[in-house]
Structure 1
């Protein structure tokens, strides 16, 4: 499975471990929410990064007290019409303040990648590495936004306000704002 993160293919260093399987020594592992809740104390004691996979019907609020301990949260998109993962990403980023990596897995379509990025999802799993260029193209299909989102890109309203208040037309402010918006 190819991992697309911040506009580039990345190696997948994470192993997804079944609930009844042993955890790999010295390697980052992703466990289910059920396993995390049952074995939390043991998993926290590991000296390697740990991640949790949330099914679309599982609330991210269940991880509220443990977010600083998790390096990765994988959000499942079981079918492209199930949008709960978007809500989970926004909840994790904006309401709960999660700073680690958010990854989308499952039915991740090219046309949805930009919106996943806007919700705060850092990386996606894609089945066909040959389609990466299409996913990357989708990130540039829209350049201005009316709604604020987890990616903190400036909205049209903010861009217009900056242009009105700057003697030079606000272009420096806009450039700085756009550059800062990509770092979360």
Structure 2
């Protein structure tokens, strides 16, 4: 069983991240599933009628604006990083939190490494599926790399000088 970082601790993964080629007929009615964007587009009505939890995952070239009207249906939104150097979903997480007010879990999946976690959390991520060849306990320490932040972000809306004035 895969272990993920969630709420600043390493936990067992309970959701099933489905591959892009899965069909509706293959899905369990009661498991907690994170479905690919295209499956949601093709079968949203049937997926909403399931008994299990529902999440969605987006590739780096799929926009959160395309699911903005459906956010209330998702308990988890997983954003895929196809490569360590591809940072497009940093903006996606920030949009979900700040523009669309999404309160559910935003999870980083794919090529996710320790060096990214602190910055991902600042953008709105609260769960991380670390690359399989990396230690999640070591990666968890990446959330503590910096003790003070100056700029406002999704995790702290006030800049440091405003926090000091308060």
Q: Same fold (TM over 0.5)?
A: yes
Pair 1:38-2:47 in alignment: no
Query: Cα–Cα, structure 1 residues 39 and 9, in superposed 2: closer, same or farther, change >3 Å?
Result: same
In the alignment, structure 2 segments of 5+ residues that lack a partner are: none
Structure with higher Rg: it is: 1
Cα distance in 2 between the residues matched to 1:149 and 1:132: 24
Cα distance in 1 between the residues matched to 2:88 and 2:150: 22
**TM-score, length-scaled by structure 2:** 0.90
**TM-score, length-scaled by structure 1:** 0.82
Query: Could you say which residue in structure 2 is the equivalent of 1:137?
Result: 141
Aligned alpha-carbon RMSD (Å) = 1.7
Query: Cα–Cα, structure 1 residues 129 and 78, in superposed 2: closer, same or farther, change >3 Å?
Result: closer
Cα distance in 2 between the residues matched to 1:133 and 1:38: 38
Cα distance in 1 between the residues matched to 2:148 and 2:31: 40
- Alpha carbons 2:151, 2:159 under 8 Å: kept: yes
Which of 81, 88, 93 is 1:89 aligned to?
93
In the alignment, structure 1 segments of 5+ residues that lack a partner are: 163-184
Q: 1:130, CA displacement in angstroms?
A: 6.6
- Alpha carbons 2:10, 2:140 under 8 Å: kept: no
Q: 1:85, CA displacement in angstroms?
A: 1.1
Cα distance in 1 between the residues matched to 2:158 and 2:144: 15
Count of aligned positions: 162
Cα deviation, 1:121-146, whole Å, max 9, x if unaligned, reads: 01111235872332222222212222
| Secondary structure in structure 1 of the residue aligned to 2:109 | strand
Cα distance in 2 between the residues matched to 1:128 and 1:43: 28
Matching of residues 3-18 of structure 1 within 5 Å: 3-18=4-19
- Alpha carbons 1:64, 1:96 under 8 Å: kept: yes
Cα deviation, 1:77-121, whole Å, max 9, x if unaligned, reads: 000110011011001111111111110011111111001111110
Pair 1:53-2:54 in alignment: no
Q: 1:156, CA displacement in angstroms?
A: 1.4
Query: Could you say which residue in structure 2 is the equivalent of 1:20?
Result: 23
| Secondary structure in structure 1 of the residue aligned to 2:128 | strand
